[in-house]
Amino acid sequence: MTILGGENGIMLEIFTYSFMQRAFIAGNIIAVICPLIGVFLVLKRLSLIGNTLSHVALAGVALGIILGVYPVYMALLISVIAALGIEKLRKNYQDYAELSLSIILATGLGVATVLISLSNNSSGIFSYLFGSISLVTRQDLLTIIPLGVIIVGVIFTFYYGFFFLTFNEGEAKLVGVPVTLLNLLFIILVAITISISMRIIGGLLVSSLLTLPVAASLQVAKSFKETIIYSVIFGLLAVNVGLFISFYQDLAPGGTIILSSVSCLLIVIGYQSFKQFNL
């Protein structure tokens, strides 16, 4: 690693590259919104929605590449449609809610497989499968930054409504929470989060960033707010460590970020086990 600068400051070589500057900006936004959304998903026992929509979003990416449209925009469109489909099917199969995920997942994978086979730009699709820091563009930032701000804003605006929905939809209805509207809004936020995270994390791995920081947080948090705070901290740690490792070891960013998140989880579990052993 090359160190630049003198007594007035030290600047890591990694930040002298414009593509890495873009990657860190996008990565840190994603590191906040993924765990933030993930807390509600995990506690609602709907973490598989992230896995379903991430695979559906790949169909949008492939379609965008084939049509010559910015892939993230198409992934957003397809993911939102799929998210609304999940919510509709959940109502149709109330006693078998997980069946809605299987239906959408199967459909999304089938469409994605066909579209990928029709595309002549397999390398472009590959970058969305596993993530790429060198291909993060200014257009990506112009998409990720405002949508990231909107997601955070919506979560905090409707925080108490989402809080009620997370633990008891029945009681939420009784106190006047617009359950149907907030459920639709939330699942759209999930779809947007997954779509804009694909450039850095990759479609096959993005669902892990929704859940792993939350899993680590649940080991140490003592309240709902603490769970959110710790989840975001673990997310930021995983993304930044992963990007550093990816740059200096020339590895796929999605994989290094997820392995960093797994490492955080294992360290937290080990620390908690150590504490219990010594009590």
What does the pLDDT look like over 234-268, one tens digit per residue? 999 999 999 999 988 888 888 899 999 999 999 99
User: Is residue 213 in a domain?
Assistant: yes
Query: Residue 96 gets which letter from DSSP?
Result: G
**125-143 per-position pLDDT tens digit:** 777 877 777 778 888 899 9
Kindly tell me if the per-residue pLDDT of 10 is higher than 80: no
Kindly tell me if the per-residue pLDDT of 40 is higher than 70: yes
Question: How buried is 3 (Cβ within 10 angstroms: 0-12 exposed, 13-18 middle, 19+ buried)?
Answer: exposed
pTM: 0.86
Kindly tell me if the per-residue pLDDT of 1 is higher than 70: no
- Residue-averaged pLDDT of the chain: 85
Share of the chain above pLDDT 90, in %: 36
Question: How buried is 45 (Cβ within 10 angstroms: 0-12 exposed, 13-18 middle, 19+ buried)?
Answer: exposed
Give, in degrees to the nearest 5, the angle at Cα 93 between 55 and 162.
70
Q: What is the DSSP string of 29-88?
A: HHHHHHHHHHHHHHHTT-THHHHHHHHHHHHHHHHHHHHTS-HHHHHHHHHHHHHHHHHH
Supply the pLDDT for residue 66: 87
Kindly tell me if the per-residue pLDDT of 123 is higher than 80: no
Q: CA-to-CA distance for 116 and 96, rounded, in angstroms?
A: 31
User: Is residue 211 in a domain?
Assistant: yes
User: Is residue 10 in a domain?
Assistant: no
Three-class secondary structure of residue 5 per DSSP: coil
Backbone φ, ψ for residue 120 (5° rounding): -95, -5
Supply the pLDDT for residue 105: 84
User: Is residue 4 in a domain?
Assistant: no
Supply the pLDDT for residue 260: 94
Backbone φ, ψ for residue 11 (5° rounding): -120, 125
Residue 107 identity: T
Q: What is the DSSP string of 136-202?
A: --HHHHHHHHHHHHHHHHHHHHTHHHHHHHHH-HHHHHHTT--HHHHHHHHHHHHHHHHHHHHHHH-
Kindly tell me if the per-residue pLDDT of 63 is higher than 80: yes
**99-109 per-position pLDDT tens digit:** 778 888 888 88
User: Is residue 93 in a domain?
Assistant: yes
Question: How buried is 123 (Cβ within 10 angstroms: 0-12 exposed, 13-18 middle, 19+ buried)?
Answer: exposed
Kindly tell me if the per-residue pLDDT of 272 is higher than 50: yes
Q: 56 and 105 in contact (C-beta within 8 Å)?
A: yes
User: Is residue 171 in a domain?
Assistant: yes
Kindly tell me if the per-residue pLDDT of 121 is higher than 70: no
- The per-residue b/e assignment along 170-179, b for 16 or more CB within 10 angstroms, e otherwise, is eebeeeebee
Three-class secondary structure of residue 8 per DSSP: coil
**173-213 per-position pLDDT tens digit:** 777 788 888 888 998 999 999 988 888 888 778 888 999 99
Instruction: Tell me which residue range forms the domain holding 143.
Output: 15-127+136-278
Q: CA-to-CA distance for 155 and 7, rounded, in angstroms?
A: 43
Domain at 97, CATH number: 1.10.3470.10
User: Is residue 6 in a domain?
Assistant: no
User: Is residue 7 in a domain?
Assistant: no
Tally of structural domains, the chain = 1
